[in-house]
Each structure stands twice: as C-alpha cells, then as structure tokens.
Amino acid sequence: MSDSADTRPDPADGGHPGYRTEPVSFTRRGGRLNDRQQKSWDLLADTMVVDVPRSGPSTSVDPQYVLDTDALFGRSARLVVEIGSGRGEVLVHAATEAPDTDFLGLEVYKPGVAQTLIGVRHGGLTNVRLAIVNAAEALTTTLPEASVDELWVHFPDPWHKKRHQKRRLVTPAFAHLAARVLKPGGTWRLATDWAEYAEQMAEVVAGSPDFEGGRSERWDGRVLTRFEAKGIAAGREIHDLTAVRR
Ligand SMILES: C[S@@+](CC[C@H](N)C(=O)[O-])C[C@H]1O[C@@H](n2cnc3c(N)ncnc32)[C@H](O)[C@@H]1O
C-alpha cells in the first residue's frame, strides 16, 4: 500500500480530470509484470480476467454494465467474491478446496491479478475469475443484486493517518453496497491488522440494519498471506469479523 493520498487524476487512469468525485481506497502502483506473471497473464487473461467496459479511469466500470456471473463461469454455482484479492493466496486456496464454488477476485493491482493467475494455472483451476476494477463501483452496479453467497474483505488498506481515513473502504456506505450484492443469509468476512480499523469495522457492522455479527474467530479458509505475515512480523494483532446478511 502506498501512503500517498494523492486524489489528483492519474495519467495511468486516462487522466480524466475530476472524473472521480469521491476519494478511492487505493493508489495506482506500478503495473509491470515479472516474467512468470507475464507468462500466466498471456496464457490465461483472455479466459480468466473479465473484459470490463470502462467509463473513464482504467479501474472504473461502465455503470450500464451488469455481469452475468453464470455466463462468466459457464455454470450456476455458489459465488464467493473477494475484494482486494491481492496476490490471490486466499482465493487460490479456497478455489482448490471447493471446486463446486465459483470465486471472483476484484483487484485494482494488475501484478496481483497476474500473480493470482500463476496459482490458477499451477492448480489447473477453472472456478476462478478476476476483474481489474474498483470494487466500490463493481458492488454499486456491476454485480447483480443478491447474487453473492460470500463477500471477503481481508486486510483492506488501513489508511491509518487521520487525514487519509476518508479513503477507507469499510464504511456505512460500503456496508450498504455489501448488503446489495449479498444474498439473504450470505456471509461477509473481514480481517485487518489495524486495531482501530477493526473498531471501525465492528461499528459499521453493528450500525447496519442489514447485517448481524461482529468480531469472530479466524476461519480455516483464510490462509496466511504475505501481507498478513508482514503485519504479524511487525507485532500487530489480527482481527477477524463475520457478519450475516439479514
Ligand atoms: C493490503 S492489500 C491486502 C491484499 C490481500 N487481501 C491480502 O490479505 O494479502 C489490499 C489490496 O486491496 C486492493 N484494493 C484497495 N482498494 C481496492 C478497491 N477499491 N477495489 C479493488 N481492490 C482494491 C489493493 O490494490 C491491495 O492489493
């Protein structure tokens, strides 16, 4: 994660001045792929990475576009969506364990998506798709209402400086979007290594009329990622939360 809170239009985003009126939860980072990532990208991106129609910045999505998830996976199955899937460690593990479930990773960082494709390729997985997209937009319009069985937000960028906290992903407005896409009875899983963000998450869940839940134990499926390992090495405590869509 970058500490920069630059909200100016990014030339990498097409340089659309003033396109985004809200701060986003990410900064664009270098998009260069290493050789292994490039190889997996070349082999798999056409089939595994959603060709998202844009409406401006390169992480945006045309608000008219609605994803047909059954068509995307070529079947009708349980759907898990991970927001900020990073290098894909959790997604690839889960997809390997549950071949009857479909997994969609929403991630703005192309090398992370390409790294995930390495895992997909090595595992011969057919139940994973990825989209390079601002998840907040995807949850607003791209994903159909009540289409998702589980939504995962593991270690969203903490934006720990006071002046940057408006960029945090997990807010009451985001809970509303999570509720929009989750099926009744669907599960929202969250984790963070930032105690004060965990407090915010707990308040968001408790304050939402759409969810029941709060702090929870770590669940087996959330395998250790490189990002979490760094937090642990730095002495931070890990906080998990689980909420159920009413
Ligand atoms: C701190 S990393 C954690 C990655 C992974 N979940 C893990 O546990 O290792 C947060 C990730 O979320 C991604 N991200 C942040 N805001 C996002 C958004 N609005 N839409 C999609 N991805 C986002 C970042 O690019 C980054 O890869």
Q: Which atom of ligand 1 is found nearest the CA of 84?
A: 12
For the chain, what are the domain ranges?
A: 11-245
Ligand 1 within 6 A of CB of 243: no
Ligand 1 within 6 A of CB of 150: no
Instruction: Please tell me the distance from the alpha carbon of residue 232 to that of residue 205, in angstroms, as a whole number.
Output: 25
* Catalytic hit among 51, 157, 220, 240: 157
State the pLDDT at residue 18. 35
Q: Which atom of ligand 1 is found nearest the CA of 89?
A: 9
State the pLDDT at residue 29. 74
Q: Which CATH class is domain 11-245?
A: alpha beta
Ligand 1 within 6 A of CB of 155: yes
The secondary structure of 151-189, three-state, reads: EEEECCCCCCCHHHHHHCCCCHHHHHHHHHHEEEEEEEE
pLDDT digits 0-9 by tens, 84-121 = 999 999 999 999 999 999 999 999 999 999 999 999 99
Contact 114, 49 (CB under 8 A): no
User: Which residue's CA is the closest to the ligand 1 atom numbered 5?
Assistant: 86
Ligand 1 within 6 A of CB of 194: no
> Ligand 1 centroid vs 109 CA: distance in angstroms?
8
State the pLDDT at residue 8. 37
Q: If DSSP codes are grouped into helix, strand and coil, which group holds residue 241?
A: strand
Tokens of 67: 């994803």
In terms of Cα–Cα distance, which of 233, 211, 65, 191 is closest to 140?
65
pLDDT digits 0-9 by tens, 36-88 = 999 999 999 999 999 999 999 999 999 999 999 999 999 999 999 999 999 99
Instruction: Please tell me the distance from the alpha carbon of residue 10 to that of residue 149, in angstroms, as a whole number.
Output: 34
Active site residue 157: yes
Tell how strand 239-245 and strand 182-192 pair up: antiparallel
